[in-house]
Amino acid sequence: MSANRPAAVVVLAAGEGTRMKSATPKVLHELCGRSLVGHVLAAAGELDPENLVVVVGHAREQVTAHLTEAGTGIRTGIRTAFQAQQNGTGHAVRMGLEELGGTVDGTVVVVCGDTPLLTGATLRTLAATHSGDGNAVTVLTAEVPDATGYGRIVRDEASGAVTAIVEHKDATEAQRAIREINSGVFAFDGQLLADALGKVRTDNSQGEEYLTDVLGILREAGHRVGACVAGDHREIAGINNRVQLAQARRILNDRLLTEAMLAGVSVIDPASTWVDVTVTFEQDSIVHPNTLLQGSTHLAEGAEVGPNSRLKDTWVGAGARVDNTVADGAVVGAQATVGPYAYLRPGTRLGVKSKIGTYVETKNTSIGDGTKVPHLSYVGDATIGEFTNIGAASVFVNYDGQDKHHTVVGSHCKTGSDNMFVAPVTVGDGAYTAAGSVITKDVPPGSLAVARGQQRNIEGWVARKRPGSASAKAAEAASREPGDES
Ligand code: UD1
Ligand code: CA
């Protein structure tokens, strides 16, 4: 157990986020595959707190339901506190502490649910500074190029000690020139925090209980107030609108791609490559431009994906090549090739060195090693063996309008072009099917199935029915003996 393990982390997530102009609560907006609050919880989880409380209010049910999913990695589990009315960040922390019995012995870390770029490392530095310096409160600050909207850190001119935090709306012209800002992240002594919150007033421009006022209150009571300056100001950016959301996404995406590239992944165009935090790579994998990798997608050693591809929850095996493809919940075997222009839907399993070619859609289908579906086909609810070739323009007819049925094609089969496999149906190992067949009955191993109308030629039809036409003249010329120029 870490010496700096906090007694509690309180995450503030009750606000509506009006500036997002959205039906979705702000903290549930997505960034690289995780909600804003999900990122904050991941960072907070790295502190391994004894308690983790999220203060919810606006869209309470929706946010609480989401927390159950988002907080699965947190050892102590997540508790929620309810703030019925958003009376300010100080009031929100008060609600959080009430959930913990009103007060807590030890360190309480407060984080806002809208600072998704904050890292666990920075939180650990804050906690270490707080206990190392023996502070009553330590605020995480940063120097930013544009401090508009943030609370300003006011320091004593002589000693440099933090004296107060003044909200932008309440700041004087001189205070607004300060570029050191409040990140909204604090470490507090739990008991002193609870006492001070009882003294916070609402005589400010927003009529709210400001958490930031706790600093002045503690300082006036003679307690130590400290600050910890974040190394990278971009980490503490609070998301209030969608412009900031897009900027944060760019920063986080760059962070993830930089990490991947340093680990041996070639990202041809980081500007047009977008990844989720949950995506993993092996060495020498390559990502071409205009590619989105989402969810639990994994690129094994030497796998190559893109350009123009979107892969979600998809495993790409070693040395496989996926080009201009959309895939969701698929497994691509080692050295398989997919695309260009393929659509792999959930339950697709492609064997080693298999091939899914151009304009092919697959769903709930297992394709054996070395098997190819090269062109213009739909393969749904099927099991295909090894080293089989499915002819161009084939459809696995899996739906009778009411139920889905399964098709089995064996190993070393050669099915003709333009086949329909009307499920449920089985084609045995080593069987062939003729082009244009509609396969409705099982095909025994090693046989050739021909399931199409017999061709009938009605000779002289054009001459009789379309006399004098260009077709009739062409037919007549073709029927003359060569050299017969009469
Ligand atoms: C707050 C800080 C400001 C700091 C900035 C950093 C205060 C008074 N101001 O301002 O000094 O620079 O964050 O991003 O603390 N919330 C609640 N209940 C409430 C009010 C807010 O849960 O009653 C939550 C919000 O959901 C949000 C967080 O607290 O996650 C911050 O609230 P927000 O309104 O965004 O505060 P800022 O104006 O950004
Ligand atoms: Ca904010």
Neighbours of 387 (CB within 10 A): 16
Cα–chain center distance at 340: 23
Is the Cβ atom of 378 under 6 angstroms away from ligand 1?
no
Ligand 2 centre distance from Cα of residue 237 (Å): 8
Mutate to test the pocket of ligand 1, among 54, 56, 87, 112 (most ligand atoms within 8 A of CB): 112
Amino acid at 449: A
Instruction: Determine the angle formed by the axes of helices 190-197 and 213-220, rounding to 10 degrees.
Output: 100
pLDDT at 71: 77
- Residue closest by Cα to atom 14 of ligand 1: 238
Is the Cβ atom of 83 under 6 angstroms away from ligand 1?
yes
Q: Is pLDDT above 90 for 82?
A: yes
Q: Is 385:428 a contact under the CB 8 Å cutoff?
A: no
Ligand having the closest approach to the CA of 89: 1
pLDDT at 74: 80
The more confidently predicted of residues 209 and 484 is: 209
Cα–Cα distance measured from residue 461 to residue 453, given in angstroms and rounded to the nearest whole number: 20
CA angle, residues 466, 469, 470, in degrees to nearest 5: 135
pLDDT at 299: 98
Is the Cβ atom of 317 under 6 angstroms away from ligand 1?
no
Looking at domain 264-449, which CATH architecture does it have? 3 Solenoid (2.160)
Q: Which residues contact 306 (CB under 8 A, 6 or more apart)?
A: 268, 273, 287, 288, 289, 290, 291, 322, 323, 324
For the ranges 145-149, 185-189, 291-295, the lowest mean pLDDT is seen at 145-149
For the segment 265-280, the average pLDDT, to the nearest whole number, is 98
Ligand having the closest approach to the CA of 12: 1
Is the Cβ atom of 14 under 6 angstroms away from ligand 1?
yes
- Residue 484 — pLDDT band, cuts 50, 70, 90? low
What pLDDT digit, counting tens, does each position of 62-76 carry? 999 999 888 777 888
What pLDDT digit, counting tens, does each position of 331-383 carry? 999 999 999 999 999 999 999 999 999 999 999 999 999 999 999 999 999 99
pLDDT at 486: 52
Tokens of 458: 């009605």
Beta strands in 345-461 (DSSP E): 349-350, 355-367, 372-384, 389-390, 395-397, 407-409, 414-415, 420-422, 425-427, 432-433, 438-439, 448-449
Atom of ligand 1 nearest to the CA of 85: 23
Atom of ligand 1 nearest to the CA of 206: 8
pLDDT at 75: 81
Is the Cβ atom of 182 under 6 angstroms away from ligand 1?
yes
Strand pairing partners for 326? 310, 343
Ligand 2 centre distance from Cα of residue 397 (Å): 53
Ligand 2 centre distance from Cα of residue 307 (Å): 37
- Residue 253 — pLDDT band, cuts 50, 70, 90? very high
Tokens of 249: 């996404």
Cα–Cα distance measured from residue 333 to residue 285, given in angstroms and rounded to the nearest whole number: 14
- The phi-psi region of residue 177 (left if phi > 0; otherwise alpha if psi is between -120 and 50; otherwise beta) is alpha
Phi (first) and psi of residue 43, to 5 degrees: -65, -45
Q: Which residues contact 419 (CB under 8 A, 6 or more apart)?
A: 390, 391, 394, 395, 433, 435, 436, 437, 438, 439
Residue with tokens 């490559």: 273
Cα–Cα distance measured from residue 271 to residue 275, given in angstroms and rounded to the nearest whole number: 11
pLDDT at 70: 83
Is the Cβ atom of 28 under 6 angstroms away from ligand 1?
no
Quote the mean pLDDT of the chain.
Answer: 96
- Residue closest by Cα to atom 9 of ligand 1: 151
pLDDT at 1: 43
- Residue closest by Cα to atom 28 of ligand 1: 112
- From-to residues of CATH 2.160.10.10 in the chain: 264-449
The DSSP call for residue 404 is: B
Q: What percent of the chain has pLDDT over 90?
A: 95
pLDDT at 4: 76
Ligand 2 centre distance from Cα of residue 63 (Å): 17
Nearest to residue 327, comparing CAs of 305, 300, 352? Answer: 305
Cα–Cα distance measured from residue 42 to residue 47, given in angstroms and rounded to the nearest whole number: 9
Is the Cβ atom of 428 under 6 angstroms away from ligand 1?
no
Tokens of 296: 């639990």
**How much is the CA Rg of the chain, to the nearest whole Å?**
33
For the segment 93-111, the average pLDDT, to the nearest whole number, is 97
For the segment 78-103, the average pLDDT, to the nearest whole number, is 96
- Residue closest by Cα to atom 29 of ligand 1: 12
Mutate to test the pocket of ligand 1, among 87, 89, 247 (most ligand atoms within 8 A of CB): 89
Is the Cβ atom of 91 under 6 angstroms away from ligand 1?
yes
Q: Is 340:358 a contact under the CB 8 Å cutoff?
A: yes
- From-to residues of CATH 3.90.550.10 in the chain: 8-236
Is the Cβ atom of 200 under 6 angstroms away from ligand 1?
no
pLDDT at 16: 86
pLDDT at 73: 75
Ligand 1 centre distance from Cα of residue 181 (Å): 13
Cα–Cα distance measured from residue 444 to residue 471, given in angstroms and rounded to the nearest whole number: 44
Question: Which residues are identified as catalytic?
Answer: 375
Q: Give the end-to-end CA distance of the chain in Å, rounded to a whole number.
A: 106
Cis previous bond, 340, omega within 30:
yes
Cα–Cα distance measured from residue 273 to residue 263, given in angstroms and rounded to the nearest whole number: 16
Is the Cβ atom of 164 under 6 angstroms away from ligand 1?
no
Cα–Cα distance measured from residue 206 to residue 183, given in angstroms and rounded to the nearest whole number: 19
Nearest to residue 397, comparing CAs of 351, 430, 441, 438? Answer: 438
Indicate the fold that domain 8-236 takes in CATH: Spore Coat Polysaccharide Biosynthesis Protein SpsA; Chain A (3.90.550)
Ligand 2 centre distance from Cα of residue 141 (Å): 14
